[in-house]
Amino acid sequence: MYYKSTRDSSVCVSSAQAIAQGISKDGGLFVPSELPKLKLEEIISLGDKTYPERAAFIFSKFLTDFTEAEIRYCTDNAYTDKAFDTENICEIAHLFDGTYMLELWHGPTCAFKDMALQILPYLITTSAKKINLDKKVVILVATSGDTGKAALEGFKDVEGTEIMVFYPDDGVSAMQKKQMTTQEGENVGVCAIKGNFDDAQNGVKAIFTDESVVDALSQSGKMFSSANSINWGRLAPQIIYYVSSYAQLVKDGEINAGDKINIVVPTGNFGNILAAYYAKQMGVPVNKLICASNSNNVLTDFLQTGVYDRNRKFYTTISPSMDILISSNLERLLYHLSGDNDKLIREWFESLKQTGRYEVTADVFEKIKNDFCAGYCNDDETKDLIKRVFDKYSYLCDTHTAVAVKVYEDYVEKTGDKTKTLIASTANPYKFSSSVLSALGEYDENLDEFELVEKLNQVSKMSVPKSLAELKDKQVRFTQIIDKDDMKEFVLSALA
């Protein structure tokens, strides 16, 4: 197994190279040269294994240049009940008959990003060793909230790494700010910038490609890598929980071996749903992949028309991790569906850059329609769904998960499809306490972020995740706020 670039099919690197490097030099994303096929019996037999064992099995198909011991080192260090609040690492809850919630938020930061970011540091450091990169790996992250904290928790005190996170001072929730500014670990840095998320993101991108910074870092024995979902090392771990869940549903007697299921995913960058697509291609019996968006519905339109057009209003919603108009991982899907046609991909993504729009060929669109359905809902519908589901099933959804459940409801109403369905639940509702309380009609503007958590606990009786409750008494370690133009100097003085 080797990895190609979506923008140059002649690129051919090992998984270690793809993971350490993050993105191909031509700007393309690394994709596996072929997808490993699993037999149904192999999938089912995972039901008797622990999560780290299931993970090691799937990784062994993709990271063929890693030894078994190297893979086990990564999976056994990442997926522990020290970091996750359940030995199962993720849980499957029953919403109603034949509808299952795949809870991916049992990790240290209460969002699904932990599923990949807990293991990525081990994958990156192991990869760096394998290709004899004798350098310390420096991770730079610009975040609008969830990714930054998950990356900090993942890389904290991992030998051979350092991490620096920039967030927009006015652009994250009070809880998210508290999560980041109290971060523990000897190799971490957190800095607020005066500006918005785009300023932070542009600043980080500029530093990544600034030769003077790269040289200075290199002289101190360090190099940059990426913890963002363009890195294959973030996508591969996400395939695991879809394969694993199928095995679990069979083991629990919820479905018969070979039965098809639908998978619904609340989507932003198209990473999590692409992982479900890969699981299907590998042999997991899947009927439809249902892509759920909020008011930033660029993907809904694309999957329904074959035209991607980002020239539209940008909405700030109550599901902020899905407020995205450029879904980077779609490039990987289109590469596969076009028959590895790097020329077409270059054309489309150049057009996206120049005009904000591209249209796929009829042949590719046909294939998209076979696998995918799509829908979206706005903030009012999201809140209404949270309240209805809580009242009816006593199940509390966060704002992102609620988008998925609502889109699924609409799908069933429209199609009458009775296929059993797995819905990706991507965040713990306590992470978005104010929006969830407001949905339940219980929001009180006089309460601070921790009082809101207490209030939600009284209303819902759902237990508060320890990692959020503990924040209240944690010391704030990082208070620096800098101008967006000073990011480069900041990185140089902190790291080089």
Taking every pair of Cα atoms in the chain, the longest distance, rounded to a whole number of angstroms, is: 62
Piece of the chain touching ligand PLP by CB under 6 A; list 164-172, 268-276, 282-290, 452-460: 268-276
Piece of the chain touching ligand PLP by CB under 6 A; list 13-21, 23-31, 269-277, 372-380: 269-277
Q: Which is nearer to ligand PLP, 30 or 66 (CB)?
A: 30
Site pattern 370..409 for ligand PLP (x: CB under 6 A)? ------------------------------x---------
* CB neighbour burial string for 354-364, b if at least 16 within 10 angstroms, e if fewer: eeeebebeeeb
269 binds ligand PLP per the rule CB under 6 A: yes
Q: How many residues bind ligand PLP (CB under 6 A)?
A: 17
Site pattern 75..114 for ligand PLP (x: CB under 6 A)? ------------------------------------xxx-
Q: Which is nearer to ligand PLP, 99 or 426 (CB)?
A: 426
Q: Which is nearer to ligand PLP, 66 or 107 (CB)?
A: 107
Q: What is the dihedral of CA 361, 366, 368, 372, to 10 degrees?
A: 150
Q: Which is nearer to ligand PLP, 52 or 266 (CB)?
A: 266
* Six token digits for residue 319: 């599901």
Piece of the chain touching ligand PLP by CB under 6 A; list 153-161, 270-278, 309-317, 364-372: 270-278
Residues in CB range of 370: below 8 A, 6 or more apart: none
The amino acid at residue 240 is I
Dihedral (CA of 179, 182, 186, 188) sign: positive
- Interior angle at CA 103, CA 97 and CA 108, nearest 5: 165
Rounded-to-integer distance, Cα 412 and Cα 164, Å? 44
271 binds ligand PLP per the rule CB under 6 A: yes
Q: Which of 280, 321, 318 is nearest to 148 (CA)?
A: 321
- Name the helix (H) or strand (E) containing 390: helix 379-393
Q: Which is nearer to ligand PLP, 83 or 133 (CB)?
A: 83
15 binds ligand PLP per the rule CB under 6 A: no
Is 193 in contact with 485 (CB distance < 8 Å)?
no
335 binds ligand PLP per the rule CB under 6 A: no
- Name the helix (H) or strand (E) containing 218: helix 211-219
- Distance of closest approach, residue 400 Cβ to ligand PLP, in angstroms: 4
266 binds ligand PLP per the rule CB under 6 A: yes
278 binds ligand PLP per the rule CB under 6 A: no
Q: Which is nearer to ligand PLP, 103 or 146 (CB)?
A: 146
- Distance of closest approach, residue 272 Cβ to ligand PLP, in angstroms: 4
217 binds ligand PLP per the rule CB under 6 A: no
Q: Write phi, then psi, for 101 (nearest 5 degrees).
A: -100, 120
According to CB under 6 A, which one of 85, 146, 162, 342 is a site residue for ligand PLP?
Answer: 146
Rounded-to-integer distance, Cα 249 and Cα 236, Å? 21
- Distance of closest approach, residue 389 Cβ to ligand PLP, in angstroms: 17
427 binds ligand PLP per the rule CB under 6 A: yes
96 three-class SS: strand
Is 157 in contact with 187 (CB distance < 8 Å)?
yes
Rounded-to-integer distance, Cα 100 and Cα 79, Å? 22
According to CB under 6 A, which one of 29, 102, 240, 322 is a site residue for ligand PLP?
Answer: 322
Dihedral (CA of 237, 250, 42, 33) sign: negative
270 binds ligand PLP per the rule CB under 6 A: yes
Residues of this chain that bind ligand PLP (CB under 6 A) = 111-113, 146, 229, 266-272, 321-322, 400, 426-427
